[in-house]
Amino acid sequence: MSSVAVIDYGMGNLHSIAKALQHADSRVDVQVTADASVIRAADRVVFPGVGAMRDCMQALNDTGLSAVIRESAQSKPFLGICLGMQALLTDSEENDGIACLNLFPGHVRRFTDHLHDAGGNILKIPHMGWNQVKQVEHPLWQHIPDQSRFYFVHSYYAVPDDARHSVATADYPQAFTCALAKDNVFAVQFHPEKSQTVGLQLLQNFLNWDGNV
């Protein structure tokens, strides 16, 4: 039986992600854990997170989990979600500037206030709701139609230095990167665990993924 560790570092509710993974594949052993040895032993790792980047990085440093996150990101299929995606970049402008894990060179920026759509309507921050995701070829998009809608809720977004790391974009109103990938790491800004059928498909793809592109 394959196992997946959902990293629990106190940033948000992990009930949904654990349930969704289990729903995506009932044979998988899902463990929500803060134990580095369990994370090390797992076949796959999910790095979730909601909230503020300052709290996120502080929690990772306090728990000493950043080391095992780096290690996992180099050795097995690894999925970052929301704040767990943003934390993989070099730094974030949230909370007056926070150094992050630097697994993807690049920055995390805030959406500008007073954005408008083409019809002149104000675009609200956070970017909240179901937006279309434009894919760049990757095994994790298998069986998911291009431009499917996923559920987002965030005010900051990733700007990777290397455009080849961007494997999906969404428009708000400009295109921004909403999925990153490099080798065995895949990370998404939206919430697959809250994105109904397409979200569950993405999680299932992740649970079937061997980490090769």
Considering only 61, 67, 75, 124, the residue that binds another protein (CB under 8 A) is 124
Residue 158's contacts (CB-CB under 8 Å, 6 or more residues apart) are 85, 86, 89, 104, 106, 107, 108, 176, 177, 180, 189
50 binds another protein, rule: CB under 8 A: yes
CA 188, CA 205: separation in Å to the nearest integer?
14
CA atoms within 13 A on the CB side of 110: 14
CA atoms within 13 A on the CB side of 39: 25
In this chain, which stretch among 45-53, 85-93, 102-110, 182-190 interacts with another protein, using CB under 8 A? 45-53
Q: Please give the distance of CA 210 from its chain centroid, rounded to a whole number.
A: 18
The smaller minimum CB distance to another protein, of residues 177 and 184, is found at 177
* x/- letters, 51..70, toward another protein (CB under 8 A): xx------------------
31 binds another protein, rule: CB under 8 A: no
130 binds another protein, rule: CB under 8 A: yes
CA 50, CA 11: separation in Å to the nearest integer?
6
Residues of the shown chain interacting with another protein in the complex, contacts defined by CB under 8 A: 12-13, 15-16, 19-20, 23, 50-52, 113-114, 117, 121-132, 147, 149, 151-154, 171-173, 191, 193-196, 199-200
Which positions are catalytic?
A: 82, 191, 193
